[in-house]
């Protein structure tokens, strides 16, 4: 089974006030944590979707040749435009796609590997990690979801199609992994 990965990092960081992808988290840019995690796992193919301030962000990251960096000129249309871009690039080569958010630097390799293991064994249409009763990320979508993901619009991600598919919820105990960074106050207690 070929699972691809898409890192969604095209947003403007309006609430943050500067490119939050580059905010220092424990000595390196926040987005670099996500990139390093994804690069450490044997995905069939990896796509990093950038948009706002792409040149500035890309210049400050260390990205291996195994990652395709894609420009999303439609980033102002919301997260859905980046999801569509990722699906369009991976749908021919992958049986499933795992979506990562560029502002979640605390996701661990243990979680990602467990999700892939469970997904490979049970092959659900959608696999979602659940942290203390709350659905989180990263989410895996099967090929059965790709055509719907290509049709979503606005500032929503793949959750827009959840109601149309059976979902496997994987319980995960480390609630802190699901934390995303929307403003400088979210960095407290890194």
Number of Cβ within 10 Å of residue 49's Cβ equals 27
Q: How many domains does the chain have?
A: 1
pLDDT score for 34:
97
- Round to whole Å and give the CA distance between 88 and 189: 38
Question: Does 17 score more than 70 pLDDT?
Answer: no
Residue with tokens 């989180």: 136
CB 88, CB 167: distance < 8 Å? no
CB 125, CB 167: distance < 8 Å? yes
Burial class of residue 176 (count of CB atoms within 10 Å of its CB; 0-12, 13-18, 19+): exposed
Query: Strand 139-142 relative to strand 67-71: parallel, antiparallel, unpaired?
Result: unpaired
Number of Cβ within 10 Å of residue 133's Cβ equals 8
Q: What is the largest CA-CA distance in the chain?
A: 43
> Helices marked H in 78-184 — which ranges?
79-90, 109-122, 146-149
Instruction: Name the 3-class secondary structure at 22.
Output: helix
Domain with 138 in it? 3-187
pLDDT (mean) for 176-181: 70
pLDDT (mean) for 153-170: 91
Tokens of residue 28, six digits: 């390196």
pLDDT score for 183:
52
- Round to whole Å and give the CA distance between 127 and 150: 18
156 confidence band (pLDDT: 50, 70, 90): confident
Residue 75: CATH number of its domain: 3.90.550.10
Tokens of residue 177, six digits: 């992994």
Tens digits of per-residue pLDDT, 81-91?
999 999 999 99
Give percent of the chain above pLDDT 70: 91
Instruction: Name the 3-class secondary structure at 111.
Output: helix
pLDDT score for 20:
86
- Round to whole Å and give the CA distance between 62 and 173: 31
Nearest to 164 by CA among 184, 147, 189: 147
Tens digits of per-residue pLDDT, 97-109?
999 999 999 999 9
Question: Does 186 score more than 90 pLDDT?
Answer: no
């Amino acid at each position: 089974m070929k699972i691809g990965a898409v890192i969604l990092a095209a947003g403007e960081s309006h609430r943050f006030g500067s490119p939050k992808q580059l905010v220092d988290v424990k000595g390196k840019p926040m987005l670099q944590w996500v990139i390093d995690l994804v690069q450490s796992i044997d995905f069939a193919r990896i796509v990093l979707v950038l948009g706002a301030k792409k040149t500035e962000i890309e210049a400050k990251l260390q990205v291996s040749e195994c990652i395709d960096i894609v420009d999303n000129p439609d980033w102002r249309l919301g997260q859905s435009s980046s999801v569509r871009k990722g699906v369009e690039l991976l749908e021919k080569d992958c049986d499933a796609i795992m979506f990562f958010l560029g502002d979640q630097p605390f996701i661990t390799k243990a979680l990602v590997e467990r999700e892939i293991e469970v997904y490979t064994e049970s092959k659900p249409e959608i696999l979602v990690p659940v942290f203390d009763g709350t659905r989180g990320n990263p989410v895996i979508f099967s090929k059965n979801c790709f055509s719907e993901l290509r049709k979503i619009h606005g500032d929503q991600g793949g959750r827009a199609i959840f109601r149309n598919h059976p979902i496997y919820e994987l319980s995960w105990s480390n609630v802190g992994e699901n934390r995303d960074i929307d403003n400088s106050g979210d960095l407290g207690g890194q």
